[in-house]
Chain A
């Protein structure tokens, strides 16, 4: 596989798995009675019930609400061929999803959303790491050629 193809594939994988994180966040994360809540609905309910008191928890909540923005930023960075920025944003997205998924699986009942979030989070982190490593190792070759040949 040429560096060019592997670089593009790594960017695409990071962006795609970030989108999967967003998709996982929209799946059911908690069922109470007949009502289901997405990750954002669950975060909102938890916040309303005062479970996000204190600065560290509020920062976590803010980071979670920032997830759609971060995924959009990952997409934009990928589309603009900014590999390191894509990898950094993807890493944050993946880590946020992974931690949130594990927390909900441990503290609440398992549901499709958090399980999918863990999977998508791991995939995003892995592709972001590969992208960052590839960028560092290949240096300018891979991505400068990208600009010439496209």
Chain B
């Protein structure tokens, strides 16, 4: 049955009988058959395109060198999206969103121009030529790619750059002159560490930093995949409480354990190289201070696999006996004792939160907290997101007059 026969009403009775004798297509021109065949072939092509496109949803490159080459290509194109695509997905996720929000706030404050777009930053031209790379496998799925030869040329025109109207006058005349030049990258020792995920290779910023540090001190290759195991908490609040208490006691091991296994994979992998020294240093440091947390109440707001946990109530005593200084906070007032401010009288300051204690009247208190993330059903503290979220929270409560006040205070201090 043809589509017409199945879907359309029967022909009207006055139709001449000879017109329905032959079925559609019985005398179709060869061109029509060719068109159908072409269409069928195109459908096969479309199906292949569909399956390949869905399979490439994670990005990455086929080899370590290709991953780094793609990053340099994106840099040369000033293609921020392209650079992000080459990064390890867990690291990319840390930056996604935050950078754009922070840029927007910097634009609002006049530090950057208010129409700045990370996808197209004017005034900066960058190019790389003659790049050659060598790759060295560190471990299975981890390779360092070293830039062997190449030249970079750059041109920065501050007049066209997205510097905001608050910052521009502070930079002076010299900073408004265009800068251009070229560098031979051959002797710069530029290298990036790449990580294989799935069957694709990605550039990892954290592994690159860790690997560069390891090489610098001549440490052995760590046992990748068998480093310090992550141990999360069952709730975001519990994770934050454990992190705060570990921080107070300088329990470095517990602090690392509480970082997310995916996001802080490099930290977990490289931890065995420094953890014993860090623990010993922390033990020594603990001899010089005393801290006691009396009350600690936390409130968390969970959104999917992410939570923002704020300290709603805290009471603590801290002291450095060797300096004769102590700080006491009872949830409302902070009392500082010792000859710290040129007087032996205790200094007491009260108010909501810590803002009044800063001595900067009118500066609102930002809504700061710890960002916890859920991985494998357990909650961990994300250091990068906590820092970026804190920066964003701080920027959000500031306005132009706050910056001008900071300038008066710090400009005045600088001027003598």
Please report A residues at the B interface, Cβ cutoff 8 Å: 30-35, 37, 40, 43-45, 47-50, 52, 61-62, 65-73, 75-85, 109, 135-136, 139-141, 143-148, 150
Which of B80-88, B130-138, B249-257, B307-315 contacts its partner? B80-88
Could you list 12 further interchain pairs (A-B, Cβ under 8 angstroms) beyond the known A140-B10, A144-B24?
A: A32-B78, A35-B81, A37-B81, A48-B57, A50-B93, A62-B50, A68-B46, A71-B42, A76-B39, A144-B19, A148-B18, A150-B32
- Cross-interface CB contact of A72 among B3, B26, B42, B93, cutoff 8 Å: B42
Assess the B12–A79 pair: CB atoms within 8 A.
no
Q: Give me 24 A-to-B residue pairs in the complex whose CB atoms sit less than 8 angstroms apart, sorted by A's number.
A: A32-B80, A34-B79, A35-B81, A43-B53, A44-B59, A45-B82, A45-B85, A48-B58, A65-B50, A65-B53, A65-B54, A68-B46, A69-B43, A69-B50, A73-B46, A75-B38, A76-B43, A83-B4, A109-B119, A139-B9, A140-B11, A143-B24, A148-B22, A150-B27
Assess the A32–B79 pair: CB atoms within 8 A.
yes
Assess the B8–A69 pair: CB atoms within 8 A.
no
Compute how far the CA of A43 lies from the CA of B58 in the bound complex, rounded to whole angstroms.
Answer: 12
Compute how far the CA of A81 lies from the CA of B35 in the bound complex, rounded to whole angstroms.
Answer: 11
Instruction: Identify the closest chain A residue to B29 (Cβ).
Output: A150
How many A-B residue pairs have C-beta atoms within 8 angstroms? Tell me: 169
Assess the A47–B57 pair: CB atoms within 8 A.
yes
Compute how far the CA of A96 lies from the CA of B400 in the bound complex, rounded to whole angstroms.
Answer: 44
Assess the B35–A145 pair: CB atoms within 8 A.
no
A-B pairs, 5 with minimum CB distance: A33-B78, A76-B39, A69-B46, A147-B24, A72-B42
Compute how far the CA of A119 lies from the CA of B54 in the bound complex, rounded to whole angstroms.
Answer: 27
Query: Does B120 make an interface contact (CB < 8 A)?
Result: yes
Query: Does B215 make an interface contact (CB < 8 A)?
Result: no
Interface 1/0 per residue, B74-105 and A, CB below 8 Å: 10111111101100010011001000000000
Which interface residue of A37, A75, A147 has the most chain B CB atoms within 10 A? Answer: A147
Chain B interface extent, by class:
35 or more
Assess the A76–B84 pair: CB atoms within 8 A.
no
Assess the B47–A69 pair: CB atoms within 8 A.
yes
- Cross-interface CB contact of A33 among B32, B49, B79, cutoff 8 Å: B79
Assess the B96–A49 pair: CB atoms within 8 A.
yes
- Cross-interface CB contact of A84 among B7, B21, B42, B84, cutoff 8 Å: B7
**A49-B92 contact, Cβ under 8 Å, with A31-B120, A32-B120, A150-B29:** yes
**A79-B35 contact, Cβ under 8 Å, with A50-B93, A140-B9, A144-B11:** yes
Residue numbers in A under 8 Å from B26 (CB-CB):
147
Instruction: Identify the closest chain A residue to B54 (Cβ).
Output: A65
Residue numbers in B under 8 Å from A32 (CB-CB):
77-82, 119-120
Please report B residues at the A interface, Cβ cutoff 8 Å: 3-5, 7-12, 15, 18-29, 32, 35-36, 38-40, 42-43, 45-47, 49-50, 53-54, 56-59, 74, 76-82, 84-85, 89, 92-93, 96, 117, 119-121
Compute how far the CA of A67 lies from the CA of B46 in the bound complex, rounded to whole angstroms.
Answer: 8
Assess the A35–B77 pair: CB atoms within 8 A.
yes
Instruction: Identify the closest chain A residue to B49 (Cβ).
Output: A68
Compute how far the CA of A62 lies from the CA of B47 in the bound complex, rounded to whole angstroms.
Answer: 11
Residue numbers in A under 8 Å from B77 (CB-CB):
32-35
**A80-B50 contact, Cβ under 8 Å, with A139-B11, A144-B4:** no
Residue numbers in B under 8 Å from A30 (CB-CB):
81, 119
- Cross-interface CB contact of A48 among B23, B74, B85, cutoff 8 Å: B85
Q: How far is the CB of A42 from chain B (nearest CB, A)?
A: 9
Instruction: Identify the closest chain A residue to B78 (Cβ).
Output: A33
Compute how far the CA of A136 lies from the CA of B9 in the bound complex, rounded to whole angstroms.
Answer: 8
Q: How far is the CB of A44 from chain B (nearest CB, A)?
A: 6
Q: How far is the CB of A89 from chain B (nearest CB, A)?
A: 11
Residue numbers in B under 8 Å from A62 (CB-CB):
50, 54
**A139-B12 contact, Cβ under 8 Å, with A45-B81, A48-B85, A148-B19:** yes
Compute how far the CA of A81 lies from the CA of B7 in the bound complex, rounded to whole angstroms.
Answer: 13
**A72-B46 contact, Cβ under 8 Å, with A32-B119, A40-B53, A50-B93:** yes
Assess the B121–A33 pair: CB atoms within 8 A.
yes
Residue numbers in B under 8 Å from A82 (CB-CB):
3
Compute how far the CA of A44 lies from the CA of B85 in the bound complex, rounded to whole angstroms.
Answer: 10
Residue numbers in A under 8 Å from B59 (CB-CB):
44, 48
Q: How far is the CB of A105 from chain B (nearest CB, A)?
A: 15
Which interface residue of A37, A45, A76 has the most chain B CB atoms within 10 A? Answer: A76
Compute how far the CA of A118 lies from the CA of B375 in the bound complex, rounded to whole angstroms.
Answer: 41
Residue numbers in A under 8 Å from B53 (CB-CB):
40, 43-44, 65
Compute how far the CA of A45 lies from the CA of B8 in the bound complex, rounded to whole angstroms.
Answer: 44
Assess the B20–A44 pair: CB atoms within 8 A.
no
Residue numbers in B under 8 Å from A37 (CB-CB):
81
Compute how far the CA of A117 lies from the CA of B101 in the bound complex, rounded to whole angstroms.
Answer: 29
Q: How far is the CB of B318 from chain A (nearest CB, A)?
A: 41
Assess the B36–A79 pair: CB atoms within 8 A.
yes
